[in-house]
Amino acid sequence: MKNLLAPSILSADFLRLGEELRMLEQAGADIVHCDVMDGHFVPNLTFGPPLIRQLKSAASLPLDVHLMISNPEAVLDQYLQAGADWLSFQYEAAVHHQRALNYIRKKGAKAGIVLNPGTSVDLIRDLLPDCDYVLLMSVNPGFGGQEYIPQVDSKIRRLAQMRKESGLQNLLIEVDGGLGLQNLERLWEMGVNIFVAGSAVFGTANPADTINSMLKIIKK
């Protein structure tokens, strides 16, 4: 299974986004994690389809768009048209999960469902065949720079076990929040495939070096 590093531009310098994108590309990042927040589902507001469209035209890396918004089903199309290559929405914010996942796939993007730290992975057992990836939040969504919540370890293990039992070898597990050089190895051992890191990349003196060190751990 191919593991991917997904730096989150939430912690990038928004005044220099073009340069930050080029840095990510040159450093060898795999996909660019884009956190969409609506000030309603989460207590913070970031950006929407217009910025995704601009990022798409400036980036050669695929965009991994994480919707932390209420009623995501109403706006999936806007993000797909803007250029989301990977598109995930929060389980807690949607109603017709299976329909939404299939819609994303039908439009040619990879479909993911996101669980908050307090939402059990058992709830999505029957949705797994419709997912390309499951994103487990390891902080309460809304802000970068928070601490990894230790109870998420058992959710990752449980999801990895469910993946094995259901024979869904292609299902990818993504983890988001509080990741850094100190815990990547442990997450890798548990079966995580996509590693989101915001402050641990952009908050360091040399983000490209940090990316390099992270890649060494997750690509073993």
Instruction: Answer for the pair 175, 194: CB distance below 8 angstroms, yes or no.
Output: yes
Among residues 21, 49, 66, 197, the one that binds Zn ion under rule CB under 5 A: 66
Q: Pairing between strand 133-137 and 32-37?
A: unpaired
Annotation marks residue 13 as catalytic: no
Annotation marks residue 35 as catalytic: yes
Does residue 174 interact with Zn ion by CB under 5 A?
Answer: no
Q: How far is the CB of 216 from ligand DX5 (least distance, A)?
A: 18
Q: Which of 69, 72, 79, 67 is nearest to 40 (CA)?
A: 69
The continuous run of DSSP H or E covering 93 comes out as none
Does residue 152 interact with ligand DX5 by CB under 6 A?
Answer: no
Instruction: Draw the binding track, 131-150, toward ligand DX5 (x: CB under 6 A; -: no contact).
Output: --------x-xxxxxx----
Stretch that binds ligand DX5, among 3-11, 48-56, 73-81, 95-103 (CB under 6 A): 3-11
Among positions 88-127, residues that touch ligand DX5 (CB under 6 A) are: none
What distances in angstroms separate CA 53 from CA 24, 83, 103, one per listed residue? 18, 6, 20
> What is the rounded CA–CA span in Å between residue 191 and residue 165?
14
Among positions 8-27, residues that touch ligand DX5 (CB under 6 A) are: 8, 10-11
20: partner contacted, choices Zn ion, ligand DX5, none (Cβ within 5-8 A by kind): none
Closer CB to Zn ion, residue 129 or residue 135? 135
Q: Pairing between strand 4-7 and 32-37?
A: unpaired
Provide CB contacts within 8 A for 190, sequence distance 6+: 153, 156, 157, 160
What residues line the site for ligand DX5 (CB under 6 A)?
8, 10-11, 33, 35, 66, 139, 141-146, 176-179, 196-200
Residue positions annotated with a catalytic role: 35, 176
